Structure 1
Amino acid sequence: MHKQTKIFAKRVVDFMHTPKVCMELGSFCETVITHMADQQAQCCIVLDSHGKLAGILRKDDILSRIVFKVGPNALIDDVMDDKVQTIRPDEYLYHAIGRMRRQNVREIVVVNEAMQPVGIVYLRDAIEIAASHLMEQIDRLSAEGDIDSLREVKAAQVDLAADMFEDNQPATAIQQLLSHVNNDIYSKIVHDNICHMDAEGWGKPPVEFCVIVMGSGGRGENYLYPDQDNGFILEDYDDNDHTRVDEYFRELANRMCRDLNEVGFPYCTGDVMATNPLWRKTVSQWVEQVSLWGRKRNSLALRMADIFFDFKPVWGKNSLAKDLRFALTEMLKSNHFFLQEMYSQQVDHNVAINIFGRLQREEEGDHVGKVDIKYRGTLPLVEAVRLLSFKHGFEETGTLARIERLHLAKVLSDAEKEYLETALTFLTKLLLKNQIRAFQKDQTVTRFINPNHISQAEKEELLRSLRHIEAFRKRMKGEFTADVF
């Protein structure tokens, strides 16, 4: 049965309407009612003197709050609802639907980072494109509450990914959605722990900060059940406040990582988490750390840098991450020696093709006879595209976005863009489908696939994809070593 799961890939910005009536605080209700009638508007968005969202007046409120209570000469300030549900334009539409259903409201106002209204989404319209049998999935994925609720959100991802495959949704789009749901869980856990700490006497965060995820989460390329790769970027503060500030964020990091582990994000075995002071720094400290990695260029520094470079903010003051991204991009663009060293660290990350051009299967360990699709397939491609993006000073983090940007800049030819996108999409689909199948059979979810269990056409496409990646890596050798042989 076709499940119409394309709704889970839709963004709010693609579905929102322009508000018909917007009025400032201090407006008379009679004037507001006239404008709403003229525009046949269901509601009026109320703005403060800076154009920021202050409240909303709905059509139903005209009778219940104005006609029968205060009269038409009252100010809109006295009758509006100042507790308006809001959402950002780049969020997924299913979030808007879930939030409206939970709060029992008919609309949600779309705002930008400055809290200025840029659109509105009506529940009635959104439900029309979401079949009724999808409402349960929407409610599961947008649930809020305790750890058990978030654990249910995590579990719901697998069912949704399977349904999206049935609907022939692109594997990379499914990855983006999985990453979004994971990052949303991060956001809810951080918010809840900040509230709990405040109630327990810790107070509010002593400085502004943002939580970042790194690796596949930062690129929007999560598979099923990624482990934790997270950190904090703190606003700069006086050194005299270090003990107080660090005590707060050390406690928050411990609680956040504990809850993430309970929900279904295993602790990082490499300790790449905000509980480790290495991944919990101010903006200035991060800039100095990145600069230090660039100067040292030893294997440890390169490994740490490689982990960090795909970071993305998931909660807090996003401008901190934006400023750090700019500083990082500028440093990398002007440090060709550092990029050469990064390439030298990755040069042995070969694709799964042997010297005869056939599939290279694992020869030892627990996965003999299988192919490591992640570390011998997608990772060499991700690394190569990332390095080329750094060389040209591009700030994108997603691999497809980087390929697109490199193509627009004429760094990649039309043919290169096509075969790299096709290879990434196919390998992602192959691995993600295999992981879903393993989960549904109560088998261990891994990054390996057995070539004996895929069709002949898939085997041929797998070989073709790996050969394209290998050819691109040979080009990278010329880019970063001036050695084309």
Structure 2
Amino acid sequence: MPYSRAMAFRRLAGEHMGPPPPTLLPGSTVGAAVEMLVETTSAIVVIVDENRIPRGVLTEQDVVRRIAFRLEDSAALDGVASRPVRVIRSGDLMFHAIARMRRAHLRHMPVVDDRDQLVGMLTLDGALAAINSQLVDQIENLTQADDPAGMTLVRAAQIQVAEQLFSDDVPTPEIQSLVSHINNDIYRRMMRHCVATMENEGRGSPPREFCLIVMGSGGRGESYLNPDQDNGLIIADYPDDQHDAIDGYFSELSERLTQAMHAAGMPLCNGYVMAVNPLWRKTARQWRAQMDYWLAQRNGSALRLADIFFDFRGVAGERRLAAQLRDYITDRLHNDRGFLREMYLQDEGFGVALGLFNRFIVEKNDKAHRGELNLKITGTLPLVDAIRALALLHGVSETGTLVRIANLHALKVLDNDEADYLSGAYHHITNLLLRQQMADQRQGKEISYYVHPDSLTDREDDMLVDALKAIRDLRERIRSDLGGGLF
């Protein structure tokens, strides 16, 4: 049965994949592949390496071509299989898979996990059967040409879909997740565009494997309507004497990417947290050394940069580089109360918007927003920072705030009431913020994180007070958890 419009845009490829197709190792013969297709009645055979990473695909069409060219059964499968392998990640949104299969005229697509290992297979017929037929046009709008002009159209369609989901009462965190997925898809497609452009200009292919990462709200999957760029690169290790040539390539690639994203409607980061800045473009070994340096220094600059970095997520390229670095960071920070205490002290200045007698603390200095609440700086940010500190302390590797809360609850770090109040606080504040941003968008106003208290109903006002009180209580508790009341 097809899903509703709202549900279809939130479905993940992994939720609709079937079992993995049959596999063979590199060096297998055409005869072995054909025999496997016949025995399993599968439509494809995937060539995987020793780590189950897809390296080639043999389809029924390839078999027909093999018969036409009268290849012997003993012929090497590598010479017949289709390459490169088009795959979808199990955590990617299903509409991306539908668009890719339709455009490439594919009926089947292997599904891989975040470490690029084969975990299943998606069929076009099955995917289309799961969605409403009228969604196909919107899927096309969200998957335009891989250039800045096409991505500008995707950004416009993204807002329309978000507004539709909001009007359908889809929870705001799920809309944020969708917006983040679409932004990540724009990053991936712009990266492909920039790499292809450099190849066409004779600059060659990337000299090393790499992973593009996003940080901040994008890394947590919590983007709003108008995020700026927060990105970096993890590059596979290489000898020091090759630095100029290899980093020179990635420096230019980063410059092209950030400018392409800017042209597509994602502004440059005012704080220069972008891969074009060498601080955010390093090899895997250099990132580990940078992490060790931050942990050792614990000064204001090191703590601020680490705070920015810790919510990173791999979005393009070899994402296993990001997964490996995430494992390293999680292990290094687990139970490191000293560093996390110092980092949390850096964030303590961002208090909640509640003063004496639980009255709202509103903006006084910014004339454009005087009397309004900045629900990011004095609402979600104090919650995000506090939950991040607790999650890192207890070895939770996930980056999303709600997922972190759920994991901390499962670990009995948060009790039932704490988890319920904090999850509710996040839902309510993000709902107020996104509603205001959509209203500002429709009216042609600058999109910000300000909400006027007068725009709230009495019930929303009461719920906001309760939400901010829960966050304030959490911050008081963390002072004890991280330092035993010593700071």
Using the size of structure 2 for normalisation, the TM-score is 0.90
Range that drifts further, 86-95 or 261-270: 86-95
Query: Given residue 27 of structure 1, which amino acid in structure 2 is its aligned partner?
Result: G
Q: Which residue of 1 aligns with 2:381?
A: 379
Q: Does residue 1:27 correspond to 2:31, yes or no?
A: yes
- Measured after TM superposition, the shift of residue 137 of structure 1 is 1.2
- Measured after TM superposition, the shift of residue 167 of structure 1 is 2.2
Deviation per residue, 1:100-120 (Å, 9 max, x gap): 222233332324567665322
Q: Which residue of 2 aligns with 1:307?
A: 308
Q: Is the 8 A contact 2:58 2:82 kept in 1?
A: yes
Q: Does residue 1:283 correspond to 2:284, yes or no?
A: yes
- Cα distance in 1 between the residues matched to 2:422 and 2:350: 17
Query: Given residue 425 of structure 1, which amino acid in structure 2 is its aligned partner?
Result: H
Q: Is the 8 A contact 1:25 1:48 kept in 2?
A: no
- Cα distance in 2 between the residues matched to 1:293 and 1:434: 37
Query: Given residue 295 of structure 1, which amino acid in structure 2 is its aligned partner?
Result: A
- Cα distance in 2 between the residues matched to 1:57 and 1:208: 28
* Aligned-residue RMSD, C-alpha: 2.8
Q: Which residue of 1 aligns with 2:403?
A: 401
Q: Which residue of 2 aligns with 1:211?
A: 212
Q: Which residue of 1 aligns with 2:298?
A: 297
Distance 1:367 1:350, change over 3 A: same
Q: Is the 8 A contact 1:212 1:231 kept in 2?
A: yes
Distance 1:13 1:278, change over 3 A: same
Query: Given residue 435 of structure 1, which amino acid in structure 2 is its aligned partner?
Result: Q
Equivalences, count: 478
- Cα distance in 2 between the residues matched to 1:404 and 1:140: 34
Query: Given residue 359 of structure 2, which amino acid in structure 1 is its aligned partner?
Result: R
SS of the equivalent of 1:9 reads coil
- Measured after TM superposition, the shift of residue 34 of structure 1 is 4.8
Query: Given residue 290 of structure 1, which amino acid in structure 2 is its aligned partner?
Result: M
Range that drifts further, 384-393 or 295-304: 295-304
Q: Which residue of 2 aligns with 1:468?
A: 470
**Percent identical residues:** 37
Distance 1:275 1:32, change over 3 A: closer
Structure 2 stretches lacking a partner, 5+ long: none
- Measured after TM superposition, the shift of residue 321 of structure 1 is 2.1
Q: Is the 8 A contact 1:53 1:116 kept in 2?
A: no
Deviation per residue, 1:435-463 (Å, 9 max, x gap): 11211221211101112122222111111
Distance 1:49 1:465, change over 3 A: closer
- Cα distance in 1 between the residues matched to 2:20 and 2:321: 31
Q: Is the 8 A contact 1:25 1:49 kept in 2?
A: no
Distance 1:384 1:191, change over 3 A: same
Q: Which residue of 2 aligns with 1:427?
A: 429
Distance 1:258 1:341, change over 3 A: same
- Cα distance in 1 between the residues matched to 2:31 and 2:156: 48
Distance 1:73 1:240, change over 3 A: closer
Distance 1:208 1:104, change over 3 A: closer
- Measured after TM superposition, the shift of residue 377 of structure 1 is 0.4
- Measured after TM superposition, the shift of residue 223 of structure 1 is 0.7
SS of the equivalent of 2:358 reads coil
- Cα distance in 1 between the residues matched to 2:57 and 2:235: 32
- Measured after TM superposition, the shift of residue 27 of structure 1 is 2.7
Q: Which residue of 2 aligns with 1:320?
A: 321
Q: Which residue of 1 aligns with 2:45?
A: 45
Structure 1 stretches lacking a partner, 5+ long: none
Q: Which residue of 2 aligns with 1:171?
A: 172
- Cα distance in 1 between the residues matched to 2:323 and 2:65: 44
Query: Given residue 178 of structure 1, which amino acid in structure 2 is its aligned partner?
Result: V
Q: Is the 8 A contact 2:255 2:276 kept in 1?
A: yes
SS of the equivalent of 1:210 reads strand
Q: Is the 8 A contact 2:115 2:319 kept in 1?
A: no
Deviation per residue, 1:209-232 (Å, 9 max, x gap): 211111111111111111111111
SS of the equivalent of 1:137 reads helix
Query: Given residue 381 of structure 1, which amino acid in structure 2 is its aligned partner?
Result: L
- Cα distance in 2 between the residues matched to 1:162 and 1:373: 20
- Measured after TM superposition, the shift of residue 420 of structure 1 is 0.7
Distance 1:175 1:239, change over 3 A: same
How do 1:25-424 residues align onto structure 2 when only pairs under 5 Å count?
25-27=29-31, 31=35, 34-35=38-39, 43-47=43-47, 52=54, 54-58=56-60, 85-112=86-113, 117-333=118-334, 335-365=336-366, 366-424=368-426
- Cα distance in 2 between the residues matched to 1:335 and 1:84: 42
Distance 1:415 1:25, change over 3 A: farther
Distance 1:30 1:256, change over 3 A: closer
Q: Is the 8 A contact 2:30 2:74 kept in 1?
A: no
Distance 1:402 1:30, change over 3 A: closer
- Measured after TM superposition, the shift of residue 266 of structure 1 is 0.7
Range that drifts further, 210-219 or 228-237: 228-237
- Cα distance in 2 between the residues matched to 1:33 and 1:331: 47
Q: Is the 8 A contact 1:29 1:73 kept in 2?
A: no
- Cα distance in 2 between the residues matched to 1:200 and 1:25: 38
Query: Given residue 45 of structure 2, which amino acid in structure 1 is its aligned partner?
Result: I
Distance 1:300 1:128, change over 3 A: same
Distance 1:33 1:14, change over 3 A: closer
Q: Is the 8 A contact 1:475 1:484 kept in 2?
A: no
- Cα distance in 1 between the residues matched to 2:208 and 2:57: 28
- Cα distance in 1 between the residues matched to 2:175 and 2:426: 13
Q: Is the 8 A contact 1:210 1:316 kept in 2?
A: yes
- Measured after TM superposition, the shift of residue 21 of structure 1 is 6.3
SS of the equivalent of 1:108 reads strand
Q: Is the 8 A contact 2:58 2:80 kept in 1?
A: no
- Measured after TM superposition, the shift of residue 426 of structure 1 is 1.2
Distance 1:65 1:398, change over 3 A: same
